[in-house]
Amino acid sequence: MKKPPDLLLDTLRAAVGAAHVLTHEDPSADLAAWEQDWRKRTRGRALAVVRPASTAEVAAVVKACAAAGTAIVPQGGNTGLVVGSTPDASGTQVLLSLTRLNAVRGIDAANLTMTVEAGCILQTLQEVAEKAGFLFPLSLAAEGSCTIGGNLGTNAGGTQVVRYGNARELCLGLEVVTPQGEVWSGLTGLRKDNTGYDLRDLFIGSEGTLGLITAATLKLYPLPAAVTTALASLDWLDSAVEFLSLAQARLGASLTGFEVMNRFSLDLVRRHFPQLAQPLPGAGWTVLLEQSDNESEAQATQRFESLLEAALERGLITDAAVAASLEQARTLWHLREAIPLAQSLEGLNIKHDISVPISRIPAFVRATDEALERAVPGVRLVDFGHLGDGNLHYNVQAPAGVDAQRFLAEHEERVNGIVYDAVMAHGGSISAEHGIGALKREELARRKSPVALKLMRAIKQALDPHGRMNPGRVL
């Protein structure tokens, strides 16, 4: 007689085809790509990796797992940073990969929407939109391999949030398979729909713990006529906040990017990527700003230069370099994007993805820099991120010459405590855009208001009473 797991595997094979149910029983199958998290912090072991190709197949898999009492861990591109999409070590969880649901179901030009399946790669969607004459503005480092389902499941952010919002703001409708294996067809292309509770936003950002997003209707935007990019150097972070206010007043919604980098971030880039030219070296702080214009290149450049001149006159910035070509603009963005890579090359470090109100960013950084320096003399701080959204990747590197592994072992908990205490004291969030996953689950339980946690638990219990959807994540 077959054991229960074998019966489940048979049902899953019948549902999605034997070729799409991968198990450790098959000596030729290597499940590492699904079982290992992106940052290589943990490696789990799945009962099986199941790869349905349609919403109906996803529903069949969920129903089979519900009947068998088996937990499901959904996964898109597996690029998450908080251990949210890999199985635990028990060997009992089904890893449900959504990458075969990768159809673009349609583009509605006059409605400025596209309807796509969860497994579509983000970059593919950017390209599909552009080919149709539109912009899909979600953009982040992992765009070449992350999926839109994962982006929505984690409410991803990225570099254009200051203008277009997070993944949440870019989504009008969802198709979701519930923990019971039912399909909610909420794929509306409507900009206004006040017929009851906002289920869409409840699923977005719930990290697969309430149901599985299988498709989405997304907002498109007209392609801008011109995009201009510049670097500006500043002495103080306070000036960066004032510069942001000025840019918002002058450019309005044309301001599509506003990134900040401290000196040490760019020093690390210089050390590890000396081939990348740095037009404004040695500044205490550097801002990368981007403007998108719907009219013309000339108009965009004129407006941009006028902003930079005003900022120079007011003493907010000390110097500026405007990209004269698309090529130069790319180089400026490379500087920003090279920071996480340079950090990795420098050695292991303690990462944070925090936000505070923009107005409180300078005070937060001052207080936290000082507290960390007191706690770990010589500690090196890689402060950079999306200032336009109040979101910093406030990362902590070992003092020069100190072994990184030992630094982490000795100081990670204490450093996190200092940073998160400061975040809370400044009205901020311990996870701005990466989510909670398994990595920040305990921190969330400690830091989130008890009333909010109670509400969240009540919702989880109501929708997934047996706790089968991505257990051990978020709550």
Interface with a copy of itself in residues 396-435 (CB under 8 A): 427-435
C-alpha distances out from residue 168 to 109, 161, 205, 224, 301, Å = 21, 10, 8, 22, 31
- State in Å, rounded, how far the first CA of the chain is from the last one: 37
Contact map string, positions 136 to 175, toward a copy of itself, x by CB under 8 A: ------------------xx-x---xxx-xx-xx------
Among 10, 88, 201, 369, binds a copy of itself (CB under 8 A): 201
Residue 195 interacting with a copy of itself (CB under 8 A): yes
Least CB distance to a copy of itself at residue 409 (A): 27
Residue with Cβ nearer a copy of itself (77 or 435): 435
- Give, as ranges, the residues between 336 and 355 that touch a copy of itself (CB under 8 A): 355
Measured in whole angstroms, the distance separating CA 59 from the mean position of its chain's CA atoms is 26
Dihedral over Cα of 263, 264, 269, 271: its sign: positive
HEC string of the chain?
CCCHHHHHHHHHHHHHCHHHEECCCCCCCCCHHHHECCCCCCECCCCEEECCCCHHHHHHHHHHHHHHCCCEEEECCCCCCCCCCCCCCCCCCEEEECCCCCCEEEEECCCCEEEEECCCEHHHHHHHHHHCCEECCCCCCCCCCCEHHHHHHCCCCCCCHHHHCCHHHHEEEEEEECCCCCEEEECCCCCCCCCCCCHHHHHCCCCCCCCEEEEEEEECEECCCEEEEEEEEECCHHHHHHHHHHHHHHHHHHEEEEEEEEHHHHHHHHHHCCCCCCCCCCCCEEEEEEEEECCCHHHHHHHHHHHHHHHHHCCCCCEEEECCCHHHHHHHHHHHHHHHHHHHHHCCEECCEEECCHHHHHHHHHHHHHHHHHHCCCCEEEEEEEHHHCEEEEEEECCCCCCHHHHHHHHHHHHHHHHHHHHHHCCCECECCCCCCCCCHHHHHHHCCHHHHHHHHHHHHHHCCCCCECCCCCC
Q: Residue from 210, 289, 381, 422 that binds a copy of itself (CB under 8 A)?
A: 210
Residues 250, 240: Cα–Cα separation, whole Å: 15
The verdict on 249 binding a copy of itself (CB under 8 A) reads yes
The yes or no reply on residue 456 touching a copy of itself (CB under 8 A) is: yes
User: Cβ 4 to a copy of itself, closest distance in Å?
Assistant: 28
Interacting stretch for a copy of itself, rule CB under 8 A, among 60-68, 200-208, 262-270, 402-410? 200-208
CB of 183 to a copy of itself, least distance (A): 7
User: Given the complex with a copy of itself, which of 241 and 268 has the nearer CB atom?
Assistant: 241
> Nearest distance from residue 417's CB to a copy of itself, in Å?
17
Select the residue interacting with a copy of itself from 206, 228, 262, 349 (CB under 8 A). Answer: 206
| Shortest distance in whole angstroms from residue 206 CB to a copy of itself | 6
Residue 317 CB, shortest distance to a copy of itself, in Å, is: 16
Q: Does 32 bind a copy of itself (CB under 8 A)?
A: no
Give the one residue of 90, 344, 359, 405 binding a copy of itself; rule: CB under 8 A. 359
Per-residue contact string for residues 364-403; x = within reach of a copy of itself by CB under 8 A: ----------------------x--xxx------------
Choosing from 130, 198, 403, 442, the residue that interacts with a copy of itself (CB under 8 A) is 198
Rounded to a whole number of angstroms, the minimum distance from the CB of residue 178 to a copy of itself is: 7
In the bound state with a copy of itself, the residue whose beta carbon lies nearer, of 282 and 427, is 427
For a copy of itself, the binding residue among 65, 332, 436, 469 (CB under 8 A) is 436
Build a one-symbol-per-residue string for 170-189: x at contacts with a copy of itself by CB under 8 A, - elsewhere. --------x---xxxxx-xx
User: Using CB under 8 A as the criterion, what x/- string covers residues 103-142 for binding a copy of itself?
Assistant: -----xxxxxx-----------------------------
The smaller minimum CB distance to a copy of itself, of residues 51 and 336, is found at: 336
Segment near a copy of itself (CB under 8 A); pick from 4-12, 17-25, 236-244, 331-339 = 236-244
Which residues, 6+ apart, have CB-to-CB distance to 164 below 8 Å? 137, 138, 170, 221, 256
Q: Binder to a copy of itself among 50, 241, 396, 422 (CB under 8 A)?
A: 241
CB of 365 to a copy of itself, least distance (A): 14
14 lines the binding site for a copy of itself (CB under 8 A): no
Nearest to 347 by CA among 407, 394, 392: 407
* Min dist. Cβ of residue 266 to a copy of itself (A): 23
